[in-house]
């Protein structure tokens, strides 16, 4: 068995495993990659940079890349990225619609919320949407079970169950360790997981108990900085003692929606069904008499908050899509301008001959 499989690689006869590695840390334009035996400093080949069309084409934590390794120097030239199974994309603030890939090839994403303070159903919906949009499977973790009464816990579970259709929900406590075993059950060897959730819900505490002190040290990277000193860089992808991988990168904490049309259907299956059942084809589900959505809202079958949240997310996605379309238009225009210029140059050149 190749060492790559310990990093989650699925053997394929189309790929030569000797030249494959996985990106474990990305810092600005420097990459750390691993082939399961050794870590390498990675940098992009000139061809790679030339051919990259957008920021989405650059390597991110979790990517499988084809490399040319130099074992002696622990360096590797990254030649291409293998097709991604899933990707989390973050938007970069600014006028132009631009995006950055935060993490890729994630099998399971844990949506972390604490039960006590601010259990926010709308935020959970949003995270489920993000998970589906990325291509990963969501699992919901409700933390700090120790800080609420059994009744409150049961209430939280039923509320979350209503918005998280078909998504596993685990309640746990880092203090009493209740539910931790069930959580571990979802961390499968050779599969990659990531944590998603607001600040303070207990993500770092979970990661620390998962890793234990010893493992964390081996997962840190020692490298020379520009002044020749050894500095320790925090690795962004860990191999857990049971062989599961965990991605913990700051970018995952700043995720926004990005082209989630199909993910909307998975997240709001109940509303999709109601919309389809509406007997008016082009119903705005606004005030039309006999509208199925309106009926469900009035009868309490569909909560008003959930419907509002659905509409809001839909608007947000439509807005993003318009922004992306504008960007595409602009790029098309530039391409055309370039082509026109080169035609002009060719013409001038031929005229001179």
User: Site residues (CB under 6 A) for ligand GTP?
Assistant: 143-144, 146-147, 173-175, 197, 199-205, 253
293 binds Zn ion (CB under 5 A): yes
Do the annotations mark residue 202 as ligand-binding? yes
169 lies in the binding site for Zn ion (CB under 5 A): no
Query: In this structure, are residues 84 and 8 in contact, taking their beta carbons and an 8 Å threshold?
Result: no
Q: How many Å apart are CA 18 and CA 38, to the nearest integer?
A: 12
Scanning the structure block, which residue is given the tokens 């400093």? 41
Q: How far apart are CA 7 and CA 33, in angstroms?
A: 11
Q: Which of 81, 130, 194, 278 binds Zn ion (CB under 5 A)?
A: 278
Residue 144 touches which of Zn ion, ligand GTP, none (Cβ within 5-8 Å per kind): ligand GTP
Residue 259, annotated as binding a ligand: no
234 belongs to an annotated ligand binding site:
no
145 is in an annotated binding site: yes
Is 171 a residue that touches Zn ion (CB under 5 A)?
A: no
Q: Which of 118, 267, 105, 117 is nearest to 190 (CA)?
A: 105
Both tokens of residue 131? 């998970």
Residue 174 binds which entry of Zn ion, ligand GTP, none, CB below 5-8 Å type-dependent: ligand GTP
Of residues 126 through 145, those in contact with Zn ion by CB under 5 A are none
Q: Say if residue 203 carries a ligand binding annotation.
A: yes
**312 marked among binding-site residues:** no
Residue 200 near which of ligand GTP, Zn ion, none (CB within 5-8 Å, type-dependent)? ligand GTP
Cα 321 to Cα 259: distance, rounded to the nearest angstrom: 6
Is 148 part of any known ligand binding site? no
Q: 153-161 long-range CB contacts below 8 Å, 24 or more apart? A: 153/115, 156/115, 156/119, 159/119, 159/121, 160/113, 160/119, 160/121, 160/124
Question: Residues 143-162 vs Zn ion: string with x where CB under 5 A?
Answer: --------------------
Nearest distance from C-beta of residue 208 to ligand GTP, angstroms: 8
Q: What's the rounded Cα separation, in Å, for the pair 124 and 160?
A: 8
283 is in an annotated binding site: yes
User: With respect to ligand GTP, which residue has the nearer C-beta, 199 or 226?
Assistant: 199
Q: Least Å distance between CB 307 and Zn ion?
A: 11
Bridge partner list, 61:
103
> How many other C-beta atoms lie within 10 A of the C-beta of residue 322?
11
Give the three-class secondary structure for 316: helix
Q: Helices H, strands E: what count in the chain?
A: 9, 15
What residues form DSSP beta bridges with 42? 31, 76
| 91/198 with CB nearer ligand GTP | 198
Q: How far is the CB of 147 from ligand GTP (least distance, A)?
A: 4
Question: Min. distance of Cβ 151 from ligand GTP in angstroms?
Answer: 17
From the list 148, 167, 291, 317, which residue makes contact with Zn ion (rule: CB under 5 A)?
A: 291
Question: Which residues have a Cβ under 8 Å from the Cβ of 34 and sit 6 or more positions away?
Answer: 7, 21, 22, 24, 40
Where along the sequence are the contacts to Zn ion (CB under 5 A)? Answer: 278, 283, 285, 291, 293
Which residues are documented as binding site for Zn(2+)?
278, 283, 285, 291
């Amino acid at each position: 068995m190749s060492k790559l499989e310990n990093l989650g690689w699925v053997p394929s006869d189309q790929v030569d495993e000797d030249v494959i590695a996985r990106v474990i840390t990305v810092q600005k334009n420097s990459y750390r990659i691993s082939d399961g035996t050794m870590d390498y400093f990675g940098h992009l080949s000139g061809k790679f940079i030339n051919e990259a069309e957008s920021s989405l084409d650059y390597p991110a934590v979790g990517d499988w890349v084809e490399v040319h390794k130099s074992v002696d120097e622990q360096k590797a030239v990254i030649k291409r990225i293998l097709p991604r199974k899933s990707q989390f994309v973050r938007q970069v603030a600014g006028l132009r619609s631009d995006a950055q890939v935060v993490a890729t090839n994630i099998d399971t994403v844990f949506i972390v919320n604490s039960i006590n303070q601010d259990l926010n159903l709308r935020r959970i919906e949003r995270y489920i949407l993000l998970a589906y949009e990325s291509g990963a499977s969501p699992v919901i973790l409700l933390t700090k079970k120790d800080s609420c009464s059994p009744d409150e816990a049961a209430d939280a579970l039923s509320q979350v169950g209503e918005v998280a259709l078909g998504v596993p929900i685990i309640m746990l406590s880092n203090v009493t360790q209740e539910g931790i075993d069930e959580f571990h059950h979802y961390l499968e060897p050779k599969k990659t997981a990531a944590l998603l959730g607001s600040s303070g819900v207990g993500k770092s505490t979970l990661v620390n108990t998962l890793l234990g002190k010893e493992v964390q040290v081996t997962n840190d990277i020692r490298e020379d900085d520009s002044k020749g000193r050894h500095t320790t860089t925090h690795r962004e992808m860990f191999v857990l003692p049971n062989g599961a991988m965990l991605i913990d990168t700051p970018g995952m904490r700043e995720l926004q929606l990005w082209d989630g049309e199909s993910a909307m259907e998975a997240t709001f299956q109940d509303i999709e069904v109601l919309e389809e059942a509406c007997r008016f084809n082009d119903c705005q589900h606004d005030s039309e008499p006999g509208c199925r959505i309106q009926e469900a809202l009035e009868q309490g079958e569909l909560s008003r908050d959930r419907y509002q949240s659905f509409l809001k997310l839909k608007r947000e996605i439509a807005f993003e899509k318009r922004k992306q379309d504008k960007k595409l238009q602009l790029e098309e225009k530039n391409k055309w301008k370039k082509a026109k210029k080169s035609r002009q140059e060719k013409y001038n050149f031929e005229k001179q001959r």
